[in-house]
Amino acid sequence: MTETVIPAVSLQGVTKKYGTFQALTNVSLTVAKGERVVICGPSGSGKSTLIRCINQLERHDGGKIIVDGAEIGARGTRLPDLRREVGMVFQHFNLFPHLTVLRNCTLALTRARKMPRAKAEEIAHHYLARVRIPEQADKFPSQLSGGQQQRVAIARALCMNPQVILFDEPTSALDPEMIKEVLDVMIDLAQGQMTMICVTHEMGFARKVADRVVFMDRGEIVEAAPPEDFFNTPQNERTRLFLGQIL
C-alpha cells in the first residue's frame, strides 16, 4: 500500500478580491514538507496577499487552502491552531516594542501554548542563539539594529516550532549591510528541514536555497520551476520580461 504524503501547504484555485479588485485569480500551488519556495514578481502582483491568505491575515474568497491536511476556513478549524503551525516573518519585523527580545519570543509559548515561563525561556534562548544574537535577550527592540530585530522575528517564529514559515520580503526594509546577516540566517534555516515560503527579490538567495521559484504577475502564478530552469530557461514571456528588469 502506498502511503499518502500530506503536503505542508496546498492552494487550490484560490481567489481573493479587495472590493472589486481581483488580487488573486485561481492560484494553485502545492508545497511539500521541507520544501523551500521563493515567490517573486512585480509590485502589486499579489505575492503578499497570497502568503497573508495562507495564515489568514487575509481571508480568501474562493478555492481551498489546506495546511498540513486541514482546510483553512473549513468548519471546525480554529485560527489559533493554524497560527501555531504557520510562522510569519514580516517586512517590518512587527515586534512588540514594550517587551524585551526574550519576552517577544516567549509570549506566544506562555499565552497560546500555556507553557511554563522557564521552559519557554529555554526555548527562546535556544533560537536566539540559532539566529546568532544570544546576547540580546534582555534588550528592547528599539535598542537593536534592523537586522538584529529581524533575526528576533525569525527566532520568535521558530519558537513555535511551526510546520512552515512564511517570509514577506524580510530584507526589503533593511540597510544593505544588514541584508546579508538576515539572509545568512535564512540560508542556515533552509539547510535544515524547515518548510519555507519566501516572498523576496533576493534572487541570489533564490538561486542558492530554493527548490522552486514561483513568478506571480497580475494575481496569477505565471511560472514555477527549479531555480536552474527558472533563471536559465524561463518559459513565459512575462517571466522573461521581469527577469530582464531585475537581473
Ligand X SMILES: Nc1ncnc2c1ncn2[C@@H]1O[C@H](COP(=O)(O)OP(=O)(O)OP(=O)(O)O)[C@@H](O)[C@H]1O
User: Does residue 149 interact with ligand X by CB under 6 A?
Assistant: no
Residue corresponding to grid cell 535577550:
137
CA distance 228 to 245: 18
Phi, psi (rounded to 5 degrees) for 208: -75, -45
Nearer to ligand X, 2 or 245 (CB): 245
Nearer to ligand X, 26 or 110 (CB): 26
CA distance 9 to 193: 15
User: Does residue 41 interact with ligand X by CB under 6 A?
Assistant: yes
Phi, psi (rounded to 5 degrees) for 151: -70, -35
Segment near ligand X (CB under 6 A); pick from 37-45, 78-86, 112-120, 125-133: 37-45
Please state the closest distance from residue 59 (CB atom) to ligand X, in A.
Answer: 11
Tell me how many residues contact ligand X (CB under 6 A).
11
Q: Which of 8, 31, 36, 45 binds ligand X (CB under 6 A)?
A: 45
Nearer to ligand X, 49 or 150 (CB): 49
How many residues does this entry show for the chain? 247
Q: Cβ contacts of residue 95 below 8 Å, gap of 6+?
A: 101, 104, 141, 149, 152, 153, 156
Please state the closest distance from residue 243 (CB atom) to ligand X, in A.
Answer: 16
Map residues 13-32 to x or -, x wherever contact with ligand X holds by CB under 6 A.
Answer: -----x--x-x---------
CA dihedral 137, 141, 146, 151 (to 10 degrees): 40
CA distance 118 to 110: 10
Please state the closest distance from residue 196 (CB atom) to ligand X, in A.
Answer: 17
Please state the closest distance from residue 177 (CB atom) to ligand X, in A.
Answer: 23
Q: Is the dihedral of CA 82, 84, 88, 92 positive or negative?
A: positive
User: Does residue 47 interact with ligand X by CB under 6 A?
Assistant: yes
Q: How does strand 86-89 pair with strand 164-168?
A: parallel
User: Does residue 55 interact with ligand X by CB under 6 A?
Assistant: no
Nearer to ligand X, 155 or 182 (CB): 182
The residue type at 186: M
User: Does residue 136 interact with ligand X by CB under 6 A?
Assistant: no
**Residues interacting with ligand X, by CB under 6 A?**
18, 21, 23, 41, 43-49
